Amino acid sequence: MPTLAPGADLRFAARLFRKNPGFSLIAILSMALGIGASSAIFSLVYAVLLDPYPYKNAERIVAMLRQHDAVTGVHYPDQDEVARKQMTRFGGMVSFRVKGGEQQALDICSKTRIFTLAESLGGVESLIEHPGRMTHASAAGSPLEVPSDLVRLSVGIEDPEDLLADLRLALG
């Protein structure tokens, strides 16, 4: 296939414009309207589907966990300087450590009724897991081992009061 000289497309477009200016103007106007319509549609899709996580459920749970006596630490990106520069909201993934060690963490996972025990996190429903026994079990005894008292949540879109009550009950 022969290659065109640089600028050949522009010369061809100029020749077409001189031969048929009406058609060329309609083509240019159609492209401009198409680009504008695409931008408008993308803006709508972004506002409806891609805008930052609209639920404050995780933030409310983080606030409760940070105050709870049974919790020794909460891992959530709202305290990270880089995350605060890059994000307006921090999503639904929360990890926390509990007093009482591994057995207490396992008990919390088994006592929740709204949070469902699951290894695959990230759906619209609230999920809970014990990473040391589930997703990170193969790392036990290695430098990559997670703390045995760690519990991980994927906070969903259920009523936040129900989620808070469920965790409070499980934490004791």
**Which token pair is 70?**
């049974």
What's the pLDDT at 121?
78
Residues 115 and 132 placed together within one structural domain of the fold: yes
What's the pLDDT at 125?
93
Domain that holds residue 125: 57-171
Residues 164 and 80 placed together within one structural domain of the fold: yes
Residues 75 and 34 placed together within one structural domain of the fold: no
Residue 164 CB partners (closer than 8 Å, separation 6+): 60, 61, 64
Residue 3 forms part of a structural domain: no
Gap between the Cα atoms of 58 and 52, Å rounded? 13
Gap between the Cα atoms of 158 and 114, Å rounded? 9
Residues 39 and 80 placed together within one structural domain of the fold: no
What's the pLDDT at 2?
64
70 within 8 A of 36, measured Cβ to Cβ: no
What's the pLDDT at 62?
97
Q: What is the CATH number of the domain that holds 144?
A: 3.90.1150.10
Residues 67 and 44 placed together within one structural domain of the fold: no
Q: What is the pLDDT of residues 16-47, one digit of tens each?
A: 888 888 888 888 888 888 888 888 888 877 77
Looking at the 3D structure of the chain, how many domains does it have? 2
Residues 121 and 67 placed together within one structural domain of the fold: yes
Q: Is the pTM of this model over 0.75?
A: no
What's the pLDDT at 44?
77
What's the pLDDT at 50?
64
Gap between the Cα atoms of 148 and 168, Å rounded? 20
Residues 77 and 20 placed together within one structural domain of the fold: no
Residues 73 and 26 placed together within one structural domain of the fold: no
Q: How far is CA 19 from the centre of its chain?
A: 53
Residues 154 and 85 placed together within one structural domain of the fold: yes
Residues 103 and 27 placed together within one structural domain of the fold: no
What's the pLDDT at 68?
97
What's the pLDDT at 91?
87
Query: Looking at the chain, how many residues does it have?
Result: 172
Residues 117 and 38 placed together within one structural domain of the fold: no
Question: Average pLDDT per run of 10 along the chain, which is 172 residues long?
Answer: 73 84 84 86 74 77 97 95 88 95 96 93 89 92 94 94 97 94
Residues 42 and 73 placed together within one structural domain of the fold: no
What's the pLDDT at 1?
58
